[in-house]
Structure 1
Amino acid sequence: MTDTKPTLPQRPFFSSGPCAKPPVWDASKLDSRSLGRSHRSKIGKARLAYCIDLMREVLNLPDTHRIGIVPGSDTGAYEMAMWTMLGARPVTTLAWESFGEGWVTDAVKQLKIDPTVMRADYGEIPDLSAVDWSHDVLFTWNGTTSGVRVPGADWIPDDREGLSFADATSAVFAQDIDWTKVDVATFSWQKAMGGEGAHGVLILGPRAVERLESYTPEWPLPKVFRMTKGGKLIEGIFKGETINTPSMLAVEDAIFSLEWAKSIGGAAEMKRRANANAAALDTIVQDRAWLGHLVVDPAIRSNTSVCLTVEGADAAFIKSFAKLLEDEGAAYDIAGYRDAPPGLRIWCGATVDTADIEALGPWLDYAWNALKA
């Protein structure tokens, strides 16, 4: 091993959430007009509505789908949908990583709706052709902790009877989502946008709105979950009149990221950047016998939260590996998720520059050689 150290990535932010800020981000560039103001003020409501409009534009979301900013990050948004809409018909939950398992736990132990559960190990996916679409179906579009994504939307039928609930938090702004196949989608700004945490985004298609207006669950709903009044959707929620007080600083940060995404070419360019990053990381993996992909099948491999195996590594080795790179300022937060098999997890979303992924390769070698020695 040589004492010469590789060139550092310019921005060593490879965390899978919160993720890297956009390349041009600077706190001083945030619009401050709404800060210190009520979210109910004219400027507060205008900025919240503008944020929603930008999300619609960048995501190419059809007018048929409503967008709401809700509390509790992606988890809050998804649980909001589960608690308000499930129970009207049978439910199938799909789980191939920890967050999918979280929705299973909510359905089984909290809501007690006795769902059909279809599971797969980390790195794999259940047989999607076996899903019964007379059921409401819960799934993660991209499993952040396993690096497994669904292979498109062809497995979701147009004539489905149940609703499709997609946890899309590490898929939006990076992968193609056929919104005609999605009745409910959730995400948080802290993933592919490089925004701040604590706020979730809830997207409702017309069939989800119909469910909300025609069905009342048998369990009590906390205030932050209630989206209807008198049997009608509270439309203000989807125009920037949030259920609880949002952080206007987080909103302005989200607006900055969305304006950046729009300026570079929108969702298509965001996807291209993520694909380029994932391809650069794949080249690094292919060139090293000691590295591998947790997700062997490229058709279901994420282009954002890419999970890697390390030859012979256990949890202690991975912890030391990640700490060494963090101490060197070469890579932050790249240890795999705590419930996943020991390995590395490297964010390749659009807010990361491909040159920094390429610069990471020699540093992975550096850490491997240092620890093996």
Structure 2
Amino acid sequence: MTEEMRPTSRPDSPLFSSGPCAKRPGWSLKNLENACLGRSHRSAPGKAKLKAVIDKQRVILGIPDDYKIGIVPGSDTGAVEMALWSMLGARPVTMLAWESFGSGWATDVVKQLKLTDAEVVTANYGDIPDLTAVDWARDIVFTWNGTTSGVRVPNGDWISDSREGLAICDATSAAFAMDLPWDKLDVVTWSWQKVLGGEAAHGMLVLSPRAVERLENYTPSWPLPKIFRMTKGGKLIDGIFKGETINTPSMLAVEDALDALDWAESVGGGSGLVSRTDSNFKVIEDWVAKSDWAAFLADDPAIRSTTSVCLKITDKWFADLSAEDQAKAAKRLATILADEGAALDIGSYRDAPAGLRIWAGATVETSDLEALMPWLDWGYAEVKSTYKIIS
């Protein structure tokens, strides 16, 4: 039966990993030939390329002129940690966590920084906390898009315009794919490896004037590592936000980021990237609407991620399996699809419920997702028909 169902065509690119994500269409190593290699990143050409990465992102994302943008070490994780260790402690903080990375930030604040005035508000995978209950007299730390849960905040309406605390947002799977209301956000982070399909290890950190004020008027009680320090003598180290990075960046990765940003401009900039992502998500959405065995992990359409799309298996056969066997069966499905060359790296995150996670960001071609959908049905039928043999 499953042989009769086997699709006859495959995606041209089976790269649906949620990070590092697919390179932009048409990418080639030849595009990096003008990289500033063998030169100091502090040389004039090196600094010019770093500043170009900053300037292009400002334009594409519509970041206000009075917001600071810096390239920092450690990918998105490094950018978030810089913000947490440098700014928290000035007032009470609320950590919103509904997936693995948000939970990780909460652990850092409670167990590493040991802030006594910290509260952690959680929700299960596929759900989101009550955002209307957030107290904006406190600093609020949250992920805009939960990469491991397929859940995003629906919009920025819940963020107070008269907030006393800072809105600190990990936007690593949202930037370039979802509209971000910059006037509602004080600290925003992301990495090149997500929607841009760039190389890992470099993070972006955006600071509003309110965030800069916090940095210049508050000194944490704990020591800060060199790579976290953004002020000197009570003033912002402005060079960080002009391409003078704290540590040595990979100029090959910088060239790759510039290539991705040039491509982003060619497809319509920020709005073009969002449109491509939305078109990709609709392919999966239309397939789920007809599926008799799969559904979105997030039941509420308003909070479903359009980039890291997380699916759960709802079939009765699957539901009757033990939790251990469910994990095995879901892993088997991802393995079958990889072995067939139809999809690579689409298993659910290790801490998430058993299922699938498909990246649908802007560098993925809609036609590849359309080609993938029949393979999901075939693969699941194959798992059901062979599971007793492999279990």
Q: 2:356 aligns with which of 309, 322, 344?
A: 344
Structure 1 residue 33: deviation in Å? 4.0
Contact 2:193 2:200 in 1 (8 A): yes
Q: 2:265 aligns with which of 262, 265, 271?
A: 262
The letter for the 2-side match of 1:209 is V
1:300 equivalent in structure 2 = 303
Write the mapping of 1:70-85 to structure 2, written as runs, cut at 5 A: 70-85=72-87
- Whether 2:196 is the aligned partner of 1:193: answer yes
* Distance (whole Å) between structure 1 residues aligned to residue 16 and residue 41 of structure 2: 32
* Distance (whole Å) between structure 2 residues aligned to residue 61 and residue 67 of structure 1: 9
The answer for unaligned runs of 5 or more in structure 1 is none
2:61 equivalent in structure 1 = 59
Contact 2:21 2:193 in 1 (8 A): yes
* Distance (whole Å) between structure 2 residues aligned to residue 159 and residue 40 of structure 1: 40
* Distance (whole Å) between structure 2 residues aligned to residue 287 and residue 34 of structure 1: 50
Structure 1 residue 6: deviation in Å? 2.8
* Distance (whole Å) between structure 2 residues aligned to residue 99 and residue 294 of structure 1: 17
The letter for the 2-side match of 1:298 is P
Write the mapping of 1:320-335 to structure 2, written as runs, cut at 5 A: 320-335=332-347
- Whether 2:159 is the aligned partner of 1:156: answer yes
* Distance (whole Å) between structure 1 residues aligned to residue 209 and residue 7 of structure 2: 56
Structure 1 residue 352: deviation in Å? 0.5
* Distance (whole Å) between structure 1 residues aligned to residue 365 and residue 352 of structure 2: 26
Write the mapping of 1:133-212 to structure 2, written as runs, cut at 5 A: 133-212=136-215
* Distance (whole Å) between structure 1 residues aligned to residue 58 and residue 330 of structure 2: 39
1:102 equivalent in structure 2 = 104
Aligned residues with identical type, % of pairs: 62
| Cα distance per residue 1:65-96 (max 9 Å; x no partner) | 11100000101100000000000000000000
* Distance (whole Å) between structure 2 residues aligned to residue 5 and residue 102 of structure 1: 40
The letter for the 1-side match of 2:292 is A
Q: Higher mean Cα deviation, 138-147 or 23-32?
A: 23-32
- Whether 2:235 is the aligned partner of 1:232: answer yes
Q: 2:88 aligns with which of 86, 99, 117?
A: 86
| Cα distance per residue 1:227-258 (max 9 Å; x no partner) | 00010000000000000000001111111101
Contact 1:6 1:362 in 2 (8 A): no
* Distance (whole Å) between structure 2 residues aligned to residue 112 and residue 232 of structure 1: 26
- Whether 2:20 is the aligned partner of 1:34: answer no
Structure 1 residue 36: deviation in Å? 2.0
SS in 2 for 1:21: coil
TM-score, with length taken from structure 1: 0.98
Q: Higher mean Cα deviation, 159-168 or 57-66?
A: 57-66
Contact 1:33 1:43 in 2 (8 A): no
* Distance (whole Å) between structure 2 residues aligned to residue 97 and residue 33 of structure 1: 37
* Distance (whole Å) between structure 2 residues aligned to residue 257 and residue 40 of structure 1: 22
Contact 2:35 2:251 in 1 (8 A): no
The letter for the 2-side match of 1:203 is V
1:275 equivalent in structure 2 = 278
1:317 equivalent in structure 2 = 329
The letter for the 2-side match of 1:143 is G
- Whether 2:59 is the aligned partner of 1:47: answer no
The letter for the 1-side match of 2:120 is V
* Distance (whole Å) between structure 2 residues aligned to residue 295 and residue 6 of structure 1: 31
| Cα distance per residue 1:81-124 (max 9 Å; x no partner) | 00000000000000000000001101100011131111100000
The answer for unaligned runs of 5 or more in structure 2 is 320-325, 386-391
Q: Higher mean Cα deviation, 26-35 or 84-93?
A: 26-35
Q: 2:13 aligns with which of 4, 11, 14?
A: 11
| Cα distance per residue 1:9-51 (max 9 Å; x no partner) | 0111100000111112111112424022210111111100111
Residue-pair matches, total = 373
* Distance (whole Å) between structure 1 residues aligned to residue 106 and residue 199 of structure 2: 27
Structure 1 residue 189: deviation in Å? 0.4
The letter for the 2-side match of 1:251 is V
Structure 1 residue 353: deviation in Å? 0.7
| Cα distance per residue 1:197-247 (max 9 Å; x no partner) | 011100000000000000000000000000000100000000000000000
